C-alpha cells in the first residue's frame, strides 16, 4: 500500500482536478481499489437534533437565524426520540448516525449532558456515532470521546482565502483549532466542504490542500454540492454540474487515499448514472433519509434500489479504528491566484455575471 503524502500545493491539486476525465477517473478508481472495497458504500444517517436559530451567518445555511427561510425550528430532541430514529436508520441499512445541532459552539451544561447521553445510547446500538455541534474545546472533545463518540464533523467548507466571503462570524483558523482539539481525543475527524458557493477552482484545490496536508488526514471527508435555499444569500446560485462533483470526488480520493469520501448534499440533483460515476471515482459513503438536516435528500428505498442496480453493499461500521492521533502540520503553500468573483450578503448586490463566468469556467 502506498504511503500517504502530506505535502500538496494548490497547483498540484489543480493539475489533478483538470486532467482529462478518463485519466482522472482511472487514477482515482485505481487508488480507491488499493485502499477500499469498491463494492461497499457506507450508508449514514444525518439527524438534526436541534434545528435553526443559529447565531452564525454561513451564507449557504437555512438554519442561520438572520436569514428568512421557511425551515421548522426545533429545540434539542430528547434521548428517546434520537434512539428511535437511530434504530429506524439501522434497520434501513445505516451504520453511522451523525447528529447535528445548529450551535455556534458547545456550551457545558444540561444540553451538552443530553447530547453525551445520546452518544452513549447510539453507541450501544453498535453504530458509528458522529456529532456536528460547532466549535469544541479539548475538554469537551474528551468528554464526547468518553461517551463513545466515533467521529466529530467540522467542515472547512472552502479555502482559507474564500472562507471570509462565506462566513463572517468565525474564521478558518477557528475551524482548524476545533479539528486540533478533536485530534487530542481518540475521536476520528470528519471534515470536508461544499462546492457551488461561487468559489473558484483554486478555492476547491485550496480546501483540499488544507485537508490533505493535515497529518493525519481526516478519516472522513464529505463533499457537498450547494443546495440553494430560498431566503439564504446563495438562494439564486446555479447548481454545480455532475462533472464538477465527479472531478472533486476523484481529486479528493487521489490526495486522501485512505479517507472515507462522502457524497453528501446535492444528491437529489444528481442522476443515478452521475452518482455511479462518483462511486467509481472513489466516493464510498452516502447519507440516507429524505432530509439532510433541512434540505431534501433521496429516499432510502430509492438508494437501496440504486445499490441493487450497481451491485453495491452497505458497508459495515467501524472499518477503521479510532486511535488517538495528533495534528502535525498544515502546509501553507496558499498564495493568491488571480481575482475571485464578488458576491455579498442580503442588502448588497451579487454580481451575477461574474458568478456565471466562474461557473462556466468551472465546468468540465
Ligand atoms: S452551517 Fe452550522 S454554524 Fe453555520 S449557520 Fe448553519 S447551523 Fe449555524
Taking residues 21-49, report their average pLDDT.
Answer: 95
Question: What does the pLDDT read at residue 292?
Answer: 58
Query: What are the residue ranges spanned by the domains of the chain?
Result: 12-324, 329-363
Q: How many A from CA of 185 to the centre of ligand 1?
A: 24
Q: Which atom of ligand 1 is nearest to the CA of 55?
A: 8
DSSP string, 195-229: E-SS--HHHHHHHHHHHHTSSSPPSEEEEEE----
- The per-residue pLDDT for range 273-288, each reduced to its tens digit, is 999 999 999 999 998 8
Mean pLDDT of the chain: 87
Cα–Cα distance between 26 and 254 in angstroms, integer?
10
Whether 102 lines ligand 1, by a CB cut-off of 6 Å, is yes
Beta carbons within 10 angstroms of residue 16's beta carbon: 21
Please state whether 154 falls in left (phi above 0), alpha (psi between -120 and 50) or beta.
beta
Preceding peptide of 216 cis, ω within 30°: yes
Question: What does the pLDDT read at residue 288?
Answer: 83
Q: Which atom of ligand 1 is nearest to the CA of 132?
A: 2
- Closest-CA residue, ligand 1 atom 2, reads 102
The answer, yes or no, to whether residue 323 has pLDDT greater than 50, is no
- Closest-CA residue, ligand 1 atom 4, reads 58
Question: pLDDT band at residue 354, thresholds of 50, 70 and 90?
Answer: very low
Q: Which atom of ligand 1 is nearest to the CA of 63?
A: 6
Whether 61 lines ligand 1, by a CB cut-off of 6 Å, is yes
Whether 265 lines ligand 1, by a CB cut-off of 6 Å, is no
Q: Which atom of ligand 1 is nearest to the CA of 57?
A: 5
Question: pLDDT band at residue 124, thresholds of 50, 70 and 90?
Answer: very high
Whether 54 lines ligand 1, by a CB cut-off of 6 Å, is yes
Whether 229 lines ligand 1, by a CB cut-off of 6 Å, is no
Whether 98 lines ligand 1, by a CB cut-off of 6 Å, is no
Active site residues: 54, 58, 61, 98, 130, 190, 262
* Inter-residue contact 322 to 187 (CB < 8 Å): yes
Question: What does the pLDDT read at residue 93?
Answer: 85
The answer, yes or no, to whether residue 92 has pLDDT greater than 80, is yes
The answer, yes or no, to whether residue 198 has pLDDT greater than 60, is yes
* Inter-residue contact 54 to 63 (CB < 8 Å): yes
The answer, yes or no, to whether residue 152 has pLDDT greater than 70, is yes
Taking residues 23-48, report their average pLDDT.
Answer: 95
The answer, yes or no, to whether residue 333 has pLDDT greater than 70, is no
Question: What does the pLDDT read at residue 340?
Answer: 53
Q: What percent of the chain has pLDDT over 90?
A: 74
Beta carbons within 10 angstroms of residue 173's beta carbon: 12
- Closest-CA residue, ligand 1 atom 7, reads 102
- The per-residue pLDDT for range 227-269, each reduced to its tens digit, is 999 999 999 999 999 999 999 999 999 999 999 999 988 888 8
Taking residues 298-309, report their average pLDDT.
Answer: 85
Grid cell digits, residue 34: 488499493
Q: Which atom of ligand 1 is nearest to the CA of 64?
A: 5
Q: How many A from CA of 36 to the centre of ligand 1?
A: 32
The answer, yes or no, to whether residue 296 has pLDDT greater than 60, is yes
Q: Are strands 291-292 and 295-296 parallel, antiparallel or unpaired?
A: antiparallel
Which of 134, 174, 178, 234 for a ligand 1 pocket mutation test, highest count of atoms within 8 Å of Cβ? 134
Taking residues 17-45, report their average pLDDT.
Answer: 96
The residues that bridge with 291 in the sheet, in sequence order, are 296
Whether 56 lines ligand 1, by a CB cut-off of 6 Å, is yes
Question: pLDDT band at residue 62, thresholds of 50, 70 and 90?
Answer: very high
Which of 63, 105, 197, 264 for a ligand 1 pocket mutation test, highest count of atoms within 8 Å of Cβ? 63
Task: Please identify which residue in the block is written with the cell numbers 440533483.
Answer: 269
Cα–Cα distance between 187 and 155 in angstroms, integer?
15
Question: What does the pLDDT read at residue 315?
Answer: 83
The answer, yes or no, to whether residue 49 has pLDDT greater than 60, is yes
Question: pLDDT band at residue 318, thresholds of 50, 70 and 90?
Answer: confident
If you ran DSSP here, which 8-state letter would residue 190 be given? E
Question: What does the pLDDT read at residue 300?
Answer: 77
Grid cell digits, residue 339: 481575482
Question: What does the pLDDT read at residue 293?
Answer: 62
Q: How many A from CA of 75 to the centre of ligand 1?
A: 15
Q: How many A from CA of 104 to the centre of ligand 1?
A: 7
What residues contact 348, with CB distance under 8 A and at least 6 apart? none
Question: pLDDT band at residue 294, thresholds of 50, 70 and 90?
Answer: low
Question: What does the pLDDT read at residue 360?
Answer: 34
For domain 12-324, give its CATH number from 3.40.1170.10, 3.40.50.300, 3.30.530.20, 3.20.20.70.
3.20.20.70
Question: What does the pLDDT read at residue 343?
Answer: 53
Helical residues (DSSP H) of 256-351, grouped into ranges? 272-280, 300-310
Q: Which atom of ligand 1 is nearest to the CA of 101?
A: 7
- Catalogue the long-range contacts made by 74-79 (C-beta closer than 8 Å, 24 or more residues apart): 74/48, 74/50, 75/50, 76/49, 76/50, 76/101, 76/111, 76/114, 76/115, 77/47, 77/49, 77/50, 77/118, 78/114, 79/114, 79/117, 79/118, 79/121
Whether 46 lines ligand 1, by a CB cut-off of 6 Å, is no
Question: What does the pLDDT read at residue 39?
Answer: 95
Amino acid at each position: 500500500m502506498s504511503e500517504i503524502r502530506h505535502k500538496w500545493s494548490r497547483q498540484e491539486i489543480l493539475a489533478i482536478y483538470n486532467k482529462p476525465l478518463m485519466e482522472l477517473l482511472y487514477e482515482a478508481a485505481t487508488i480507491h481499489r488499493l485502499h477500499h472495497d469498491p463494492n461497499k458504500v457506507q450508508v449514514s444517517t444525518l439527524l438534526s437534533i436541534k434545528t435553526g436559530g443559529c447565531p452564525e451567518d454561513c451564507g449557504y445555511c437555512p438554519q442561520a437565524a438572520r436569514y428568512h427561510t421557511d425551515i421548522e425550528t426545533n429545540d434539542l430532541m430528547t434521548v428517546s426520540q434520537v434512539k428511535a430514529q437511530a434504530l429506524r436508520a439501522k434497520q434501513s441499512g445505516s451504520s453511522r448516525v451523525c447528529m447535528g445541532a445548529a450551535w455556534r459552539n458547545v456550551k457545558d451544561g444540561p444540553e451538552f449532558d443530553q447530547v453525551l447521553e445520546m452518544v452513549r445510547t447510539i453507541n450501544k446500538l453498535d453504530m458509528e456515532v458522529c456529532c456536528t455541534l460547532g466549535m469544541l474545546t479539548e475538554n469537551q472533545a474528551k468528554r464526547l470521546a468518553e461517551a463513545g463518540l466515533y467521529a466529530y464533523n467540522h467542515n472547512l467548507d472552502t479555502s482559507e482565502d474564500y472562507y471570509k466571503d462565506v462566513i463572517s462570524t468565525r474564521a478558518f483558523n477557528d475551524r482548524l483549532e476545533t479539528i486540533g482539539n478533536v485530534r487530542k481525543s481518540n475521536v476520528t475527524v470528519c471534515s470536508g466542504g461544499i462546492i457551488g458557493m461561487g468559489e473558484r477552482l483554486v478555492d476547491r484545490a485550496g480546501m483540499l490542500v488544507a485537508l490533505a496536508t493535515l497529518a493525519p488526514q481526516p478519516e472522513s471527508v464529505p463533499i457537498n454540492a450547494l443546495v440553494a435555499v430560498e431566503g439564504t444569500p446563495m438562494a439564486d446560485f446555479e447548481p454545480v454540474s455532475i462533472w464538477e462533483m465527479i472531478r472533486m470526488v476523484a481529486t479528493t480520493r487521489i490526495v486522501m487515499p485512505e479517507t472515507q469520501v462522502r457524497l453528501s448534499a446535492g444528491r437529489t440533483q444528481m442522476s443515478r448514472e452521475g452518482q455511479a460515476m462518483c462511486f467509481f471515482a472513489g466516493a464510498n459513503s452516502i447519507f440516507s433519509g429524505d432530509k439532510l438536516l433541512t434540505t431534501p435528500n433521496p429516499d432510502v428505498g430509492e438508494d437501496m434500489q440504486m445499490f441493487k442496480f450497481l451491485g453495491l453493499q452497505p458497508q459495515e461500521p467501524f472499518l477503521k479504528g479510532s486511535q488517538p492521533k495528533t495534528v502535525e502540520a498544515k502546509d501553507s503553500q496558499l498564495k493568491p491566484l488571480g481575482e475571485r468573483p464578488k458576491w455579498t450578503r442580503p442588502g448588497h448586490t451579487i454580481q451575477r455575471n461574474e458568478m456565471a463566468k466562474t461557473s462556466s469556467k468551472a465546468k468540465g
